[in-house]
Structure 1
Amino acid sequence: MTISQQGADVLRYTAFSSDPDGGNPAGIVLDASSLSDDDLLAIAAEVGYSESAFLTPPPEGLGGEEGRAFTLRYFSPKAEVAFCGHATIATAVALAERIGPGELLFATPAGTVPVEVTEEDGVLRATLTSVEPHVAPVDADDLAEALAALDWPASDLDPALPPRIAFAGNRHLVVGAATRARLADLAYDFTRLEALMHRLDLTTVQLVWRESATVFHVRDPFPVGGVVEDPATGAAAAAFGAYARELGLVPEDAVLTLHQGEDMGRPGELTVTLRAGDPRIRVAGEGARIG
């Protein structure tokens, strides 16, 4: 059954860019109340973006301002995803265009995610606050399998960015590249990496190159979602913020800039904010409607 046959009104927005040709696109259905889970998956597959977002009324007791709280679910072309940062940013921008900037509250499968939308010179910018993150070591054999699937020799890794599994709504394997050239050269074994990621319950592998103290370039293979690479990954950005803080790579109070999508021709910019005394990570970016 096609989207039109399902009667769904699917919006298309990009996140982490004010340019529709940049950032990461997401499908958005502002009212998915009448759709089944099979419908949601079929729509996400037909739209073909890394994720699509679906809004329904909030659960009882969620809180938040009336008319500004929702249940939010995410589907890749292959499966439901517990949390998706770029689709959250895109959805918040789409809502702000209709009900105005301000505070939003989303009940997601990963937990409650507040979002603040502001407007400056006609450009909307959304900031999400992650669920509480954590960071864990990665088994040496699992890391070796990931590097084999990526075709990255261990000598191409940055020892200052040791591999870890980081969580801020879902799990991401963080791997540091020693050079920008290493990051730019991405040609991996899709099936092999997908199998490892399913076994480790990973959403993406986040490949990182550090340009300066607070500026990073990242890429996120996403074979478990049915796409080769995610252009701008808010959930992984939040997880990386937790990773950087846990390893003492940045101060407890820090604002990081992540550049993603450049190697795909869809440049985007993600702002990651850490606050001393608050374990949660804030991820911000602009958004724009596509077409």
Structure 2
Amino acid sequence: MTSDAAPLAAPEPDILRYAAFATDPGGGNPAGVVLDASGLSADRMLAIAAEVGYSETAFLIPDTSGDAGGAYTVRYFSPLAEVPFCGHATVASAVALADRNGPGRYVFATQAGEVPIEVDKGADGVLHATLTSVEPHVEEVGEADVAEALALLGWSADDLDAALPPRIGYAGARHLVLAAATRDRLARLEYDFDGLAAYMTARDLTTIQLVWRESEHLFHVRDPFPVGGVVEDPATGAAAAAFGAYLRERGAVTVPATLTLHQGEDLGRPGVLTVELREGDTRIRVSGTAVPIP
């Protein structure tokens, strides 16, 4: 006997919302988190990310083989496209897991490679997550490419800090690092959205990492993200890791070093990212808190 009944629709996933690199839901960078995305197609993930509307949503698929507790395959989607790695959504996801399972160690298998994350509870009772990047590298960038990027941003060569020359940093995704000579220059961000998106797409860039150095270990940063359909990312863990690799490669800090990056202040969503460079290990560690968004 046959049945004309329509097949049952797949259940809607539970979508969590966390603010990463902040202790206030109104700060940091919001991320969507789906802790069990088993059975979701890439098209459905992209549609969910677009519905959520944050710069990224992370989709976790638990590894059910053997004794692989704490292991997940993770995919990251902006409202417009999939990205290979996202730091703030990784921190948000790890804290979301720890909220349910307690502090511990997780391993995320991403398109960029394997990313371990440690979650612990600080003396303040707040959960802190530390991700260890994939192996980073830094690339030269041509003068013509720099000039085009500056024109699209509305910057001039005189707006740059000569001590921190432009480079492309990678620690899971590619970011063009441009250092502003003054805090005022960093604070004024108006750019050609479509033009910069096309420029970045042609060069496989995820964000532009705009930085201003306040002191040896303290930086202020901003990240235009037009390729993700977002004018600016409020707190960007992947770019922070790439920037740490850049500073190490340039010899701009003495290793070991712990750096503090303030981001989101100019958006009214302040967040703090901690970047650790260790001796004998070229991988970069990025730490921060995350809290649920009601």
Tell me the TM-score normalized by structure 2: 0.95
Contact 1:261 1:267 survives alignment (8 Å): yes
Contact 1:6 1:39 survives alignment (8 Å): no
Moved over 3 A (4+): none
Q: What's the counterpart of residue 73 of structure 1? A: 75
Q: What's the counterpart of residue 41 of structure 2? A: 36
Identity %: 69
Unpaired segments ≥5 residues, structure 2: 1-8
Q: Tell me how many residue pairs correspond in the alignment.
A: 285
Q: What's the counterpart of residue 239 of structure 1? A: 242
Q: What's the counterpart of residue 25 of structure 1? A: 30
C-alpha separation between the residues in 2 aligned to 1:280 and 1:58? Answer: 24
User: What do residues 112-134 of structure 1 show as CA deviations (whole Å, max 9, x unaligned)?
Assistant: 00000000232000000000000
Structure having the higher Rg: 2
Q: What's the counterpart of residue 119 of structure 2? A: 117
Say whether 1:266 aligns with 2:269.
yes
Q: What's the counterpart of residue 251 of structure 1? A: 254
Say whether 1:98 aligns with 2:100.
yes
> Could you say if the C-alpha distance between residues 6 and 160 of structure 1 is closer, same or farther in structure 2, counting changes exceeding 3 Å?
farther
The secondary structure found in structure 2 opposite 1:33 is coil
C-alpha separation between the residues in 1 aligned to 2:62 and 2:210? Answer: 36
Amino acid at match of 2:153: L
Unpaired segments ≥5 residues, structure 1: none
Say whether 1:165 aligns with 2:168.
yes
C-alpha separation between the residues in 2 aligned to 1:272 and 1:208? Answer: 14
C-alpha separation between the residues in 2 aligned to 1:58 and 1:214? Answer: 38
C-alpha separation between the residues in 2 aligned to 1:119 and 1:226? Answer: 34
User: What do residues 126-181 of structure 1 show as CA deviations (whole Å, max 9, x unaligned)?
Assistant: 00000000001111111111000000011111001100000000100000000000
Residue 58 of structure 1 and its aligned partner are, at CA, apart by 2.8
Q: What's the counterpart of residue 185 of structure 1? A: 188
> Could you say if the C-alpha distance between residues 59 and 189 of structure 1 is closer, same or farther in structure 2, counting changes exceeding 3 Å?
farther
Tell me the TM-score normalized by structure 1: 0.96
Q: What's the counterpart of residue 153 of structure 1? A: 156
Contact 1:14 1:290 survives alignment (8 Å): yes
The secondary structure found in structure 2 opposite 1:143 is helix
Residue 34 of structure 1 and its aligned partner are, at CA, apart by 2.0
* Aligned-pair Cα RMSD in Å: 1.4
Amino acid at match of 1:128: L
User: What do residues 71-125 of structure 1 show as CA deviations (whole Å, max 9, x unaligned)?
Assistant: 1110000000000000000000000000110111110110000000000232000
Amino acid at match of 2:52: V
Say whether 1:7 aligns with 2:9.
no
Amino acid at match of 1:46: E
C-alpha separation between the residues in 2 aligned to 1:59 and 1:51? Answer: 25
Contact 2:63 2:69 survives alignment (8 Å): no
The secondary structure found in structure 2 opposite 1:146 is helix
Residue 5 of structure 1 and its aligned partner are, at CA, apart by 8.7
Q: What's the counterpart of residue 6 of structure 2? A: none
C-alpha separation between the residues in 2 aligned to 1:58 and 1:130? Answer: 20
Q: What's the counterpart of residue 89 of structure 1? A: 91
Q: What's the counterpart of residue 4 of structure 2? A: none
Residue 35 of structure 1 and its aligned partner are, at CA, apart by 1.1
